[in-house]
């Protein structure tokens, strides 16, 4: 059964709810987020994907050079797939000539230069070179419009529903827009999918044609944080923006601030978010009872029951010292029909803190189930209507507590 029909059967789902073991007697309230002087902002936990705090997270704004995160993501995926090589020598066209970008950031490319894909990518990530983005776009896709199509296809695939790219560099253009939430999604995907390329974001300088340029992300020099990326952006329309990420004691956070009033403000507001997040939140991977994530029946399926797993490994992000107050409810699709694909959503876990919904995670099929031959599925023809009748009864979820 397609997941688009999943919401229609939620009332028919069986529900389990148990409390996790207590690890602390202290009970602290959820901390109040800081005030952030930006048009829009988001703080995301990398491991769980949870939004810890946000404001105007889905407002569409000009992306400026934050677009270059997607440019490098597309290039990275092409490198990963073997369609291009980091050692490829790219001949710089007139479209990628640095003089085509007066008054904006560039790598100082000249027409006819032969530059490796690796160096061009460094020019995009470290120097924020608009010229380098065009050179890479032409090398990857032949011409810019085809590359922009690739950018937007990846945006759609990653769930960046409010983003549209009109060029590879982010200079203001009609229709081009993104959101703080979408940029957090993209950054999380970049760190997860391209671990060999992500370290370029923490390089503090890049020299090309004997011109040394510093990384504009000032947080890379902040000794109180362990920031290792990601990207700054500025245009008159966008204001000053910064996507940053830091890791402390195995926990990674992603902060996005868009539309601040100055270079210093984008760093200050981002640091404020990261500091607050590390101080008050932690990632945990709670243990489920074996019965909570048991196998799930697949009608007319072969096999007839499938194993389950929780998306993102089951990690959730909770306020520190609040683990004893975390509860969860497990919802299954008990009318699941073959075929079922591995990774298909077949349920969800809802996490509650003091009876307030904290987050929810998809439950996925850990294996596929094909349609069984007719002679094997005859028993389901008999028993499925009986199961459906019982699931329609007005049962109330049973709340079980373990101390």
For 150, the token pair is 């690739």
Kindly state the DSSP code that residue 9 receives in the 8-state scheme.
G
For 303, the token pair is 């096999």
Supply the DSSP string of 286-323, one letter for each residue: PPPPTTTT--EE-BTEESSEE-EEEGGGG-EEEETT-G
How far is residue 322's CA from residue 389's CA, in Å, rounded to a whole number? 40
Verify whether residue 68 is a known catalytic residue.
Answer: yes
How far is residue 301's CA from residue 338's CA, in Å, rounded to a whole number? 5
For residue 221, what are the contacts with CB-CB under 8 A and spacing of at least 6?
204
Per DSSP, the three-state class of 186 is helix
How far is residue 259's CA from residue 41's CA, in Å, rounded to a whole number? 9
Dihedrals φ, ψ of 399, to 5°?
-100, 120
How far is residue 261's CA from residue 271's CA, in Å, rounded to a whole number? 15
Q: Which of 128, 244, 267, 270 is catalytic?
A: 128
How far is residue 126's CA from residue 230's CA, in Å, rounded to a whole number? 9
Verify whether residue 127 is a known catalytic residue.
Answer: no
Whole-angstrom CA distances from 240 to 133, 243, 292, 372 are: 20, 11, 47, 57
- Other Cβ atoms less than 10 A from the Cβ of 392: the count is 10
Q: Which of 45, 48, 54, 65 is catalytic?
A: 65
How far is residue 254's CA from residue 192's CA, in Å, rounded to a whole number? 12
- Other Cβ atoms less than 10 A from the Cβ of 157: the count is 9
Verify whether residue 104 is a known catalytic residue.
Answer: no
Closest CA to 146 of 157, 158, 134, 156: 134
Under 8 Å between Cβ of 349 and 313: no
Dihedrals φ, ψ of 328, to 5°?
-140, 155
Under 8 Å between Cβ of 169 and 67: yes
- Establish how many alpha carbons lie within 13 A of residue 267's alpha carbon, considering only the half-sphere containing its beta carbon: 14
Under 8 Å between Cβ of 353 and 281: no
Catalytic residues: 65, 68, 128
């Amino acid at each position: 059964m397609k997941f688009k029909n999943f919401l229609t059967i939620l009332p028919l789902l069986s529900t389990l709810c148990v409390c996790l073991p207590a690890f602390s007697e202290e009970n602290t309230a959820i901390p109040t987020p800081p005030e952030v002087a930006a048009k829009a902002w988001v703080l995301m936990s990398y491991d769980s994907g949870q939004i810890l705090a946000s404001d105007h997270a889905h407002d569409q704004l000009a992306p400026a050079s934050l677009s270059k995160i997607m440019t490098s993501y597309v290039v990275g995926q092409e490198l990963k797939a073997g369609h291009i090589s980091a050692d490829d020598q790219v001949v710089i066209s007139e479209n990628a000539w640095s003089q085509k970008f007066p008054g904006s950031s560039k790598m100082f490319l000249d027409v006819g230069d032969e530059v490796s894909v690796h160096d061009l990518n460094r020019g995009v990530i470290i120097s924020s070179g608009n010229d380098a983005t065009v050179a890479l776009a032409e090398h990857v896709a032949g011409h810019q419009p085809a590359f922009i199509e690739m950018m937007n296809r990846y945006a759609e695939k990653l769930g960046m529903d409010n983003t549209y790219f009109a060029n590879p560099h982010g200079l203001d253009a009609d229709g081009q827009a993104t959101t703080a939430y979408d940029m957090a999604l993209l950054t999380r995907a970049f760190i997860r999918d391209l671990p060999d390329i992500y370290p370029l974001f923490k390089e503090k300088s890049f020299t090309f044609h004997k011109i040394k340029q510093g990384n504009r992300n000032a947080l890379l020099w902040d000794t109180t944080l362990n920031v290792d990326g990601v990207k700054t952006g500025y245009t008159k329309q966008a204001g000053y923006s910064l996507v940053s990420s830091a890791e402390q004691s195995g926990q990674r956070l992603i902060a996005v601030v868009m539309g601040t009033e100055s270079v210093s403000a984008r760093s200050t507001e981002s640091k404020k978010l990261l500091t607050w997040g590390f101080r008050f939140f932690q990632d945990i991977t709670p243990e489920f009872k074996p019965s909570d994530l048991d196998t799930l029946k697949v009608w007319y399926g072969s096999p007839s029951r499938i194993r389950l797993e929780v998306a993102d490994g089951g990690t959730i992000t909770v306020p520190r010292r609040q683990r004893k107050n975390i509860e969860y409810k497990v919802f299954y699709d008990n009318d699941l029909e073959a075929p079922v694909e591995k990774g298909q959503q077949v349920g969800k876990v809802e996490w509650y803190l003091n009876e307030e919904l904290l987050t929810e995670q998809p439950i996925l099929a850990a294996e596929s189930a094909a349609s069984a031959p007719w002679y094997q599925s005859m028993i389901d023809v008999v028993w499925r209507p009986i199961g459906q009748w019982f699931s329609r009864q007005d049962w109330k979820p049973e709340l079980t507590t373990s101390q």
